[in-house]
Amino acid sequence: MLKKVLIANRGEIAVRVIRACRELGIETVAVYSEADRLAPHVWLADEAYEVGPARAAESYLSIVRLLNAAQKSGCDAVHPGYGFLAENADFAATCEEAGLVFIGPSAHTIALMGDKTEARRTMESAGVPVVPGTKEAAADLDAVRRVCREIGLPVLLKAAAGGGGKGMRRVEREQDLKSAFEGAQREAQAAFSDPRIYVEKFLDRPRHVEIQILADSHGNVIHLGERECSVQRRHQKLIEESPSPIMTPELRQEMGEKAVAAARSAKYCGAGTVEFMVAGDAFYFLEMNTRLQVEHPVTEMVTGFDLVHAQLRIAAGDPLGIQYLGPKGHAIECRINAEDPFNDFLPSGGLIEQLRAPSGPGVRWDAGIVQGTEIGLHYDPLIAKLIVHGESREAAIARMSRALDELVIDGVPTIAPFQRRVMDEPDFRAGNYHTGYLDGHPGLLDVTGGEESLRAVALVAALLEEQERKRVRIEAPTQGGNSGSAWRWPTGGWSGRGWGRRS
């Protein structure tokens, strides 16, 4: 087993890895920027090293500074988490050259799957279905026009070097191709330092379903079922669940077999995800994420397997030794982002003045924050994840609704109130949704929810505030000042079913 691991990340994923290492008796080393000096992952680790200023390029993305921390602390392995350098082939190669175990696939595999056109060619060779489109990056605008005439509009222009919606443009009219192509190139260059663009046929109302795979260094490759990730905003996932509402045992077996074939063709080792788009009766390869996914807890909840434990054991050279027997119950995850859902999901910052995490049977809270944490705008807005498990999908939705009602984050707007609305929305409850779900349900993002709803929330807030004042006068009549009620409204945070913006 590994002895000491440096976690080259921050926030909730760093906390997650530290806890898994501790359970396996592995020492941990955290890294932090100046902005994260007081972050939970810093004081949870056995050791911690500052790696630079708040700007990620000078801290969490600095390979030199991360490797210096690993060498100073005597680590024998590096866990990249997700985001930052998790899918950076140069980082993986540098770790290997320095004699450090990179907890993930080889640099070759990362590079292969990171190039989306190369990945498409590899999948086609392995018999994995891909969306109709180009096998090579488009040489110029004329090449894009020719492809569009062959496969038909609408199409997606996508960055060859990355994902996450960056460098992506949907084109429905040929006269829009020039501006879309040039815009996609600029965004791809800014995000990935690579302007290459390829073309895919646009799939109407698809579902985003991914398969979790595990592969060891002994040639064993298995899948652990699927996750449904179709509730998205600008191609960023907001709510995930497992199993998928559309899944049948036959489809799970077929998609699982194709995911395993994809992993084998890429010579994959570690925990990874093969993502598919499902349209009607067909499914198509989208991309392969060569790292742990943000939504991995829903798979853990329905399988009972700890994926970070598996990563660590695989990296230590152990064989898998596990067998997937199908999902047990149902799990849902809400990504708690520090964003304003009623103002185009703009990132939000500030001090978390009050935090009460939900608890109870079947509730899991993965967080990189505590009460008093200052949320800045330097990094990804994900601050926590709320995951629930129930015996059925209906039970899981009810449990998530209850957990969101209990959640209190005061001081920083989050997307929790939006997610609470989704739990009550009929199409979501029926499992009838796709990647365009939000476009078809604009009321979910209505800031007032209607005048009647606004008056009702204000009335409840006022009544609860008055009740809190009475309680404080009875319990502590000599204390003045604010009662600290979780129901202050407006608050700049999410409290039960109430939400407000800091003035």
* Rounded-to-integer distance, Cα 93 and Cα 102, Å: 8
Confidence at 467, pLDDT banded by 50, 70, 90: low
503: nearest Cα among 413, 407, 405: 413
pLDDT confidence of residue 493: 59
234: nearest Cα among 294, 133, 163: 163
Cis previous bond, 245, omega within 30:
no
pLDDT confidence of residue 466: 58
What tens digit of pLDDT does each residue of 316-341 get? 999 999 999 999 999 999 999 999 99
pLDDT confidence of residue 234: 87
- Which range among 172-186, 248-262, 463-477 shows the weakest confidence by mean pLDDT? 463-477
* Rounded-to-integer distance, Cα 151 and Cα 423, Å: 38
Top-confidence residue, 362 or 480:
362
CA distances from 246 to 232, 243, 352 (A): 17, 8, 38
Average pLDDT over residues 136-142: 91
Q: How far is CA 125 from the centre of its chain?
A: 29
pLDDT confidence of residue 188: 92
Look up residue 487 and give its two tokens.
């129901």
pLDDT confidence of residue 450: 43
CA distances from 15 to 40, 87, 241, 298 (A): 7, 19, 22, 17
Look up residue 37 and give its two tokens.
């000096």
- Which range among 57-61, 421-425, 490-494 shows the weakest confidence by mean pLDDT? 490-494
Average pLDDT over residues 185-199: 92
User: Cα angle at 494 between 489 and 496, to 5 degrees?
Assistant: 90
Residue 372 DSSP label: T
Beta bridge partners of 337: 382
Strands 330-337 and 236-242: antiparallel
3-class SS at 497?
Answer: coil
* Rounded-to-integer distance, Cα 326 and Cα 319, Å: 21
Provide the angle, in degrees to the nearest 10, between the axes of the packed helices 393-406 and 416-424: 150
Look up residue 164 and give its two tokens.
């996450």
* Rounded-to-integer distance, Cα 60 and Cα 83, Å: 10
489 pLDDT more than 50? no
Domains in the chain with CATH codes: 4-103 (3.40.50.20), 132-201 (3.30.1490.20), 207-444 (3.30.470.20), 451-499 (no CATH)
* Rounded-to-integer distance, Cα 213 and Cα 471, Å: 53
Top-confidence residue, 456 or 119:
119
What tens digit of pLDDT does each residue of 248-293 get? 999 999 999 999 999 999 999 999 999 999 998 899 999 999 999 9
Cis previous bond, 490, omega within 30:
yes
464 pLDDT more than 90? no
Q: Using an 8 Å Cβ cutoff, are 29 and 9 in contact?
A: no
Q: Using an 8 Å Cβ cutoff, are 384 and 367 in contact?
A: yes
Residues 444, 277, 294, 376, CA torsion sign: negative
Q: Using an 8 Å Cβ cutoff, are 494 and 413 in contact?
A: yes
What tens digit of pLDDT does each residue of 74-95 get? 999 999 999 999 999 999 999 9
Confidence at 136, pLDDT banded by 50, 70, 90: confident
User: Hunting for tokens 């955290």 — which residue is that?
Assistant: 30
DSSP structure string for 200-237: EEPPSS-EEEEEEEEE-TTS-EEEEEEEEEEEEETTEE
Element holding 475 (H helix, E strand): helix 451-475
pLDDT confidence of residue 470: 56
Look up residue 424 and give its two tokens.
């009550």
pLDDT confidence of residue 162: 76
Strands (E), 8-150: 27-32, 47-50, 77-79, 101-102
What tens digit of pLDDT does each residue of 341-399 get? 999 999 999 999 999 999 999 999 999 999 999 999 999 999 999 999 999 999 999 99
Residues with a known catalytic role: 291
* Rounded-to-integer distance, Cα 186 and Cα 46, Å: 43
SS3 labels along 233-284: ECCEEEEEEECCCCCCHHHHHHHHHHHHHHHHHCCCCEEEEEEEEEECCEEE
3-class SS at 377?
Answer: coil
The amino acid occupying position 320 is: L
Q: How far is CA 219 from the centre of its chain?
A: 28
Beta bridge partners of 221: 215
pLDDT confidence of residue 486: 37
Within the chain, what is the greatest distance between any pair of CA atoms? Answer: 79
Q: Using an 8 Å Cβ cutoff, are 413 and 355 in contact?
A: no
72 pLDDT more than 90? yes
What tens digit of pLDDT does each residue of 143-158 get? 999 999 999 999 999 9
pLDDT confidence of residue 452: 41
* Rounded-to-integer distance, Cα 122 and Cα 267, Å: 11
CA distances from 160 to 35, 189, 285, 455 (A): 33, 10, 15, 49
pLDDT confidence of residue 451: 40
Average pLDDT over residues 228-236: 94
pLDDT confidence of residue 1: 87
Strands 207-215 and 270-279: antiparallel
Residues 6+ apart with CB under 8 A from 99: none
pLDDT confidence of residue 432: 97
Confidence at 448, pLDDT banded by 50, 70, 90: low
Neighbours of 209 (CB within 10 A): 25
Confidence at 453, pLDDT banded by 50, 70, 90: very low
Strand order of the sheet with strand 221-233? 282-289, 270-279, 207-215, 221-233, 236-242, 330-337, 382-390, 363-367
What tens digit of pLDDT does each residue of 98-129 get? 999 999 999 999 999 998 889 999 999 999 99
232 pLDDT more than 80? yes
Mean pLDDT, the chain, integer: 90
